A and B are shown apart, each in its own frame.
Chain A
Amino acid sequence: MAKTKTLAVLIAFFLAAGAASAAPAGKTASVPAIAGFTADDMPYDAGNALLLRWPDGQYGADTVYRVFLSTAAAGGWVHADEFKAADREAKAIPLPFWAWEPLPGELAVKLEIGALVGELKSGSDVKVKAAAYRNDKLIAESLAVTAQIRGNWFRLDRLNNLILLTVIVIAFFWAVSHAKRKGLFIRRIAGLDAIDEAIGRSTEMGKPIFYVPGIGQMSTISTIASTFILGEVAKKVAAYDSQIKVPHYDPVVMTVAKEVVKQSYLEAGRPDSYREDLNFFVSHDQFSYAASVDGMISREKPAAIFFMGYFMAESLLLAEVGSTTGAIQIAGTDVEHQLPFFFTACDYTLIGEELYAAGAYLSKEPMLVSALKVQDLGKLVVMVSVAVGGVLVAVGAKMNWDNLVQVVLTLFKAY
Chain B
Amino acid sequence: MTETTWIIAGAWISAGLTIFLFSFLYKDNPFFKMAEHLYLGAGMGWWFQVYLYSIWKPKVFEPLLGGDFFVLIPALLGLSLVTQFIPKISWISRYGFTFMMGYGAGMEIPAKLSTDFMSQIAGTIMPFSLMASMSGFDILNALIVAAGTICVLFYFFFSVEHKGSVKKISNVGIYFLMIYFGAAFGNTVMARFSLLYGRFDDLNTSAAASNFYATQIILAAIAAYFLIHSFMGKKGQAEEAH
A interface residues (Cβ-Cβ under 8 A, vs B): 160-161, 164-165, 168, 184-189, 218-219, 221, 251-252, 255-256, 282-285, 287-289, 291-292, 294-295, 298-299, 313, 336-341, 343-344, 351-354, 357, 361, 372-373, 376, 378-383, 385-387, 389-390, 393-394, 396-398, 400, 405, 408-409, 412-415
Contact indicator A357/B158 (Cβ below 8 Å): yes
**14 additional A-B residue pairs with CB within 8 Å, beyond A168-B113, A386-B124, A412-B122:** A219-B101, A219-B108, A294-B36, A299-B28, A337-B187, A376-B158, A379-B157, A386-B121, A386-B149, A396-B129, A397-B132, A398-B132, A412-B121, A412-B125
Chain A residues near B97 (CB, 8 Å)?
218, 252, 256
Let me know if B199 is at the binding interface, CB within 8 A.
no
From B154, B158, B161, A383 is in contact (CB under 8 Å) with B154
Q: Are B150 and A340 in contact (CB under 8 A)?
A: no
Q: Given A219-B100, A383-B153, A409-B125, is A164 in contact with B113 using a C-beta cutoff of 8 Å?
A: yes
Per-residue CB contact flags for chain B residues 159-174 toward chain A (1 = under 8 Å, else 0) read 1111000000000000
The answer to whether residues A337 and B153 also contact, given A186-B158, A386-B146, A398-B131 and a CB cut-off of 8 A, is no
Residues of B within 8 A of A398 (CB): 131-132
Tell me how far the C-beta of A381 lies from the nearest C-beta in chain B, rounded to whole angstroms. 7
Do A340 and B188 have beta carbons less than 8 Å apart? yes
Interface residues in chain B, defined as those with a beta carbon under 8 Å from any beta carbon in chain A: 21, 24, 28, 32-33, 35-36, 39-40, 42-44, 46-47, 81, 84, 93, 97, 100-101, 103-104, 107-110, 113-122, 124-126, 128-132, 142, 146, 149-150, 153-154, 156-162, 177, 180-182, 184-185, 187-188, 192
Distance between Cα atoms of A408 and B128 in the complex (Å): 11
Residue from B44, B101, B109 in contact with A285 in the complex, judged by beta carbons closer than 8 Å = B44
Once the chains are docked, how many angstroms separate the CA of A188 from the CA of B162?
Answer: 9
- Output the nearest chain B residue to A252 by Cβ-Cβ distance: B81
CB distance from B111 to the nearest CB of A (A): 10
Once bound together, how far apart are the Cα atoms of A378 and B114, in whole Å? 12
Contact residues in A for B126 (Cβ distance below 8 Å):
393, 409
- Asked whether, in the complex, the Cβ of A382 is within 8 Å of the Cβ of B122, the reply is no
Contacts of A252 in B (CB 8 A): 81, 97, 100
Contact B150 A386 (CB under 8 A): yes
**Cβ contact within 8 Å between B130 and A397:** yes
Given contacts A282-B40, A295-B33, A381-B117, contact A354 B156 (CB under 8 A): yes
Q: Give Cα distance in the complex from A336 to B161, angstroms.
A: 24
Quick check: A294 and B24 within 8 Å, CB to CB? yes
Beta-carbon contact of B39 and A414 below 8 Å? no
Kindly state the separation between the CA atoms of A292 and B34 in the bound complex, as whole angstroms: 11
Given contacts A283-B43, A337-B187, contact A295 B36 (CB under 8 A): yes
Asked if residues A379 and B156 are in contact (CB atoms below 8 Å), the reply is yes
Complex-state Cα separation, A205 to B2, whole angstroms:
57
Contacts of A373 in B (CB 8 A): 159
Question: How many Å lie between the Cα of A394 and that of B188 in the bound state?
Answer: 36
When the two chains form the complex, which single residue of A282, A382, A393 contacts B153, counting CB atoms closer than 8 Å? A382
Judging by beta carbons under 8 Å apart, are B47 and A284 in contact? yes
* Chain A residues whose C-beta falls within 8 Å of the C-beta of B132 in the assembled complex: 397-398, 400
B128 and A284 within 8 A (CB):
no
* Contact A187/B162 with A291-B39, A337-B188 known, Cβ cut-off 8 Å: yes
Residues of A within 8 A of B122 (CB): 409, 412-414
